[in-house]
Amino acid sequence: MQRKRTLAQQDMLVGFALILPSFLIILGISLQPILTTLYLSLFEVPRGINLQQTFVGLGNYISLLSEPIFWATIGRTLYFTVISVGIELVLGLAIAQLIHAHPPGWQFLRTSLIIPWAVPTIVNGTMWRWIYNADYGALNGLLLQLGLIDKYIPWLTRPDIAMNLVILADIWHSVPFIALILQAALATLPADLEEAASVDGATALQYFWLIRLPLLRPAILVALIIRTVEAFRAFDIIYVITNGGPANGTVTISFLTYLEMFSFGHAGRGSALSFLISIFTLALAFIYIRMLYRPEEKL
Amino acid sequence: MKKKLRVVLLSILVLLALLFVYVPVAWLVISSVSSRSELLSTPIHWIPQQPTLQNYINILSPSQGTSEVAKTFRITLWNSLMVASSVTVIALVFGSLAAYALIRLRFPFRQTLLIGILGTRMIPEISLVIPLYLFATRFGLFNSPIILVITYLSFALPFAIWLMAAFFESIPVELEDAARIDGCNRLETLWRIIMPISAPGLVSTGLFVFLTAWDEFFFALILTSTVSAKTVPVAIAEFTGRYVVDVGGMMTGGVLAAIPPVLLSLIFQRYIVSGLTAGAVKG
């Protein structure tokens, strides 16, 4: 018997003891459930979930992948993701640069950006739904007074328009997030860089494309991946603004999963769908973690 | 001259950005202090002629005439506060201990565990909800705030570990070595040296966890059914679902639900920016 354990042994014991509670919690509420979901996705599960389940193997996946409704949903999800994240990146980068140029009021703008980001998603959605209201909404009121429309338009009853309006609400919420990340990254760039570039005869545009953008690349990547994952699985904002309508025009993959699970009573198919979302997200997460844990690429 | 023009141009852009931020919020607040007849008037009343706090009174001290949703809203605010605070405390305690071990101590599978824990943070709620729903019904926790605290930990805990790990990494090892030489063991070092200088990290992490929990909608939608556990986001979503939409009440609920996270974020704004940079995300 050793009276005093070596440092390494002590470290190991303490380490396991410190991790154990978190490990057990994560095991119980994340790992076990995700494996159960994977298991359920291989069954046809009737309403009530616990009743007789029929093993169908990859049947749920195969039938999903062969249905036009699935691909239409994927199309809408990609549209939502690409358009909203694309616009958010461009606007976020623009605002970050604006702040970085330190015009009058830049500090107030930076502080103000926190507000849309901090407003809860459901409140954000509710607010925009009211703005888009067909009979009394501010959007109709404004456009009518500006003479751009001659009568009120029921915006959310047109599938193409409804999707873009949900995107607009998402943009309002998320542009500040990207702008804040990127302006923080800009602030860490060496200040004499621009001077040196202009001495060397670089135009502002060349400076932006050849120096600033490459240096911002890690921050942009982080922001992009976070936002892509979020947008791909967007649910709350769609639930509140359109509830998937009109005519399924805003049903994205998370919303379809929700419908399969809780409206159509297809727990098996729903689980399969949710597992597909997980796979996509984890793939992105993997890239994200690899990036974050490469110290020289840190912000 | 050219410089002046530049300043004018940039100022216009700042103004546009500020309009983008404030116009929707202003409309939210204006709608919350407008009477029902003014809200439903055409042409639209941009500035209410008779601003009223009636909507706020209905929610904060409900009387007989107020709608059911407005009556119960106060209770859901309380539920949200309790759930979000509990999640924050639990995630901070267990998360910072685990993060410290993962960053500073040498033991087998450390790297695997770290990656694995961070990976679980990316699992979408919808992939967990059916098993968690079954768990809730089996143990009589359906429609109880406890199930929300438990399920919220599924994202809050990995999230807290992630943020605290980034923070611990930035503390110089030398500091601990000095304490070790002075005869402190690991736990004493953690308690006496690391925790005190980790206050900023704990504040920042706690803030993000609280905001995320306050924001959460999906689990609350599926796992609660009555006012005894419903949270604010669910209550607000219900305003829209009702037969007669109480727009004023809905907007007032929105303002009240937004005040805590907005105030906290503004007060602690320097933590927000540094936290965002460390990879913190609120849903």
Residue-wise pLDDT for B226-244, tens only, equals 888 999 999 998 877 655 6
Provide the 10 A C-beta neighbour count for residue B46: 12
B122-148 pLDDT, tens digit per residue, is 889 999 999 999 999 999 999 999 999
Signed CA dihedral, B85, A262, A255, B226: sign only: negative
* Residue A205 amino acid letter: L
Helix count and strand count (H, E) for chain A: 14, 2
Domain membership flag for residue A214: yes
- pLDDT score for A51: 59
Place of tokens 């751009």: A148
The residue-averaged pLDDT of B267-282 equals: 73
Quote the CA–CA distance of A149 and B216 in Å, as a whole number. 38
The chain B residue lying nearest A222, using CA atoms, is: B279
Q: Residues in chain B, how many?
A: 283
Whether residues B106 and A114 touch (CB distance < 8 A) is answered with: no
What is residue A1's predicted lDDT score, i.e. its pLDDT? Answer: 45
CATH (domain of B236): 1.10.3720.10
pLDDT of residue A49: 59
Q: What is the pLDDT along chain A (299 residues), one digit of tens a residue?
A: 445 567 778 778 888 889 999 999 999 999 999 999 999 999 988 776 565 788 888 999 999 999 999 999 999 999 999 999 999 999 999 999 999 999 999 999 999 999 999 999 999 999 999 999 998 899 999 999 999 999 999 999 998 899 999 999 999 999 999 999 999 989 888 878 777 877 887 788 888 888 888 888 888 888 888 899 899 999 999 999 999 989 899 999 999 999 999 999 888 999 999 999 999 888 876 776 676 655 444 43
pLDDT value of position A173? 96
- Cβ distance A117 to B265 less than 8 Å, yes or no, reads yes
Q: Do B24 and A131 make contact, defined as CB atoms within 8 angstroms?
A: yes
A141 in contact with B at a CB cutoff of 8 Å?
yes
- CB–CB of B257/B84 below 8 Å? no
Rounded-to-integer distance, Cα A151 and Cα A160, Å? 19
Residues of B in contact with A14 (CB under 8 A): 101, 105, 186-187
Taking the Cβ of residue B132 and every Cβ of chain A, the question of whether any pair is shorter than 8 Å is answered with yes
Residue B177 confidence (pLDDT): 80
For residues A187 and A98, the answer to whether their CB atoms sit within 8 Å is no
The answer to whether residue A61 sits within a structural domain is: yes
- pLDDT number for residue A299: 39
| Rounded mean pLDDT, B197-202 | 89
Residue B5 lies in a domain: no
Tell me, yes or no, whether B13 lies in a domain.
no
Q: What pLDDT, on the 0 to 100 scale, is given for residue B244?
A: 60
Nearest to B126 by CA among A263, A92, A257: A257
**Maximum mean pLDDT: which of B162-176, B179-193, B233-247:** B162-176
pLDDT value of residue B173 = 83
- How crowded is residue A163: how many other Cβ atoms within 10 Å of its Cβ? 22
The nearest alpha carbon in chain B to A257 belongs to B126
User: Cα(B34)–Cα(B246) distance, rounded to whole angstroms?
Assistant: 12
- Coil, helix or strand at residue A54: strand
B24 in A contact zone (CB under 8 Å)? yes
What is the average pLDDT across B38-63? 86
> CATH number of the domain that A185 lies in?
1.10.3720.10
Contact assignment for A236 to B25 by CB distance below 8 Å: no
Within 8 A of B245 by CB-CB distance, chain A residues are none
A35 class by beta-carbon count within 10 Å (0-12 exposed, 13-18 middle, 19+ buried): exposed
Whole-angstrom distance, CA of residue A74 vs CA of residue B121: 23
Tokens representing residue B233 in the block: 């986001």
Which DSSP string corresponds to B108-133? TTHHHHHHHHHHHTTS-GGGTHHHHH
Q: What pLDDT does residue B243 have? A: 55
Report whether the peptide linkage leading into residue A46 is cis, meaning its omega lies within 30 degrees of zero: no
Compute the distance between CA of residue B148 and CA of residue B163 in angstroms, rounded to an integer: 22
Q: What is the pLDDT of residues B207-226, one digit of tens each?
A: 999 999 999 999 999 999 98
Instruction: Calculate what percentage of chain B has a pLDDT beyond 90.
Output: 51
Cα B76 to Cα A119: distance, rounded to the nearest angstrom: 17
Pairing of strands A54-55, A43-44: antiparallel
Answer yes or no: do B266 and A289 touch at CB < 8 A: no
Is B186 or B25 the better-scoring residue by pLDDT? Answer: B25
In a domain, A31, yes or no: no
- The upper half-sphere exposure of residue B86, i.e. CA atoms within 13 Å in the direction of its Cβ, equals 15
Residue A256 counted as domain residue: yes
Does some domain include residue B48? no
To the nearest whole Å, the CA of B25 is away from the closest chain A CA by: 8
For residue B156, give the nearest of B232, B224, B203, B92 by alpha carbon.
Answer: B92
In chain A, where do the E strands start and end? 43-44, 54-55
Nearest CB neighbour to A29, from listed B24, B43, B150: B150
In a domain? residue B191: yes
- The reply to whether residue A284 touches residue B211, judged by beta carbons under 8 angstroms, is no
Domains of chain A: total: 1
Residue A19 covered by a domain? no
Using a CB-CB cut-off of 8 Å, the residues of chain B touching A121 are 215, 217, 233, 283
B136/A contact by beta carbon, under 8 A: no
Residue of A287, A11, A224, A291 whose CA lies nearest to B185: A11
How many domains are there within chain B? 1
Which residue in chain A is spatially nearest to B46 when comparing CA positions? Answer: A138
For residue A279, the surrounding DSSP H or E stretch is helix A267-292
Domain extent for B248: 53-277
Q: CB–CB of B157/B88 below 8 Å?
A: no
Query: How many A/B residue pairs have CB atoms within 8 Å?
Result: 290
Note whether B236 and B257 are within 8 A (CB): yes
- For chain A positions 236-265, those within 8 Å of chain B (CB to CB) are 236, 239-240, 254, 257-258, 261-262
* Angstrom distance (rounded) from CA B158 to CA A278: 16
pLDDT beyond 90 at B162: no
CB contact (8 A) between residue B120 and residue A98: no
User: For residue A33, is it within any domain?
Assistant: no
A33 to chain B, any CB pair closer than 8 A? The answer is yes
Domain assignment of residue B34, yes or no: no
Q: Residue A182 domain-assigned? A: yes
Q: Which of residues 57-116 of A touch B (CB under 8 A)?
A: 95, 98, 101, 103-106, 108-109, 111-116
Helix A106-118 × helix B2-32 angle, to 10°: 30
pLDDT of residue A201: 79
Nearest Cα neighbor of B45 from B34, B57, B60 is B34
Nearest 5°: phi and psi at A246? -75, 145
The answer to whether A179 and A216 are in contact (CB under 8 A) is no
- Determine, yes or no, domain membership for B31: no
Residue B7 forms part of a structural domain: no
Instruction: Kindly state the tokens that stand for A63.
Output: 């039938």
Question: Are the beta carbons of B133 and B223 closer than 8 angstroms?
Answer: yes
Residue A35 lies in a domain: no
Residues counted in chain A: 299
Q: Are B118 and B183 in contact (CB under 8 A)?
A: no
For helices B269-277 and B199-215, give the axis angle rounded to 10 degrees. Answer: 90
Reported as a single tens digit per residue, the pLDDT across A74-85 is: 999 999 999 999
Q: Which residue has the tokens 């994202």?
A: B155
Evaluated on CA atoms B207, B214, A185, B165, the torsion sign reads positive
Instruction: Give residue A298's pLDDT.
Output: 41
Q: What is the pLDDT of residues B61-94, one digit of tens each?
A: 877 777 777 778 899 999 999 999 999 999 999 9
To the nearest whole angstrom, how far is the Cα of B182 from the nearest Cα of chain A?
15
Report the alpha-carbon distance of residue A119 to residue B215 in Å, rounded: 8
Which DSSP string corresponds to B55-79? HHHHHHS--TTS-HHHHHHHHHHHH
| Closest C-alpha among B25, B231, B40 to residue B143 | B231
Has residue B282 got a pLDDT over 50?
no
B40 in a domain, yes or no? no
What's the gap in Å between the CA of A263 and the closest CA on chain B?
12
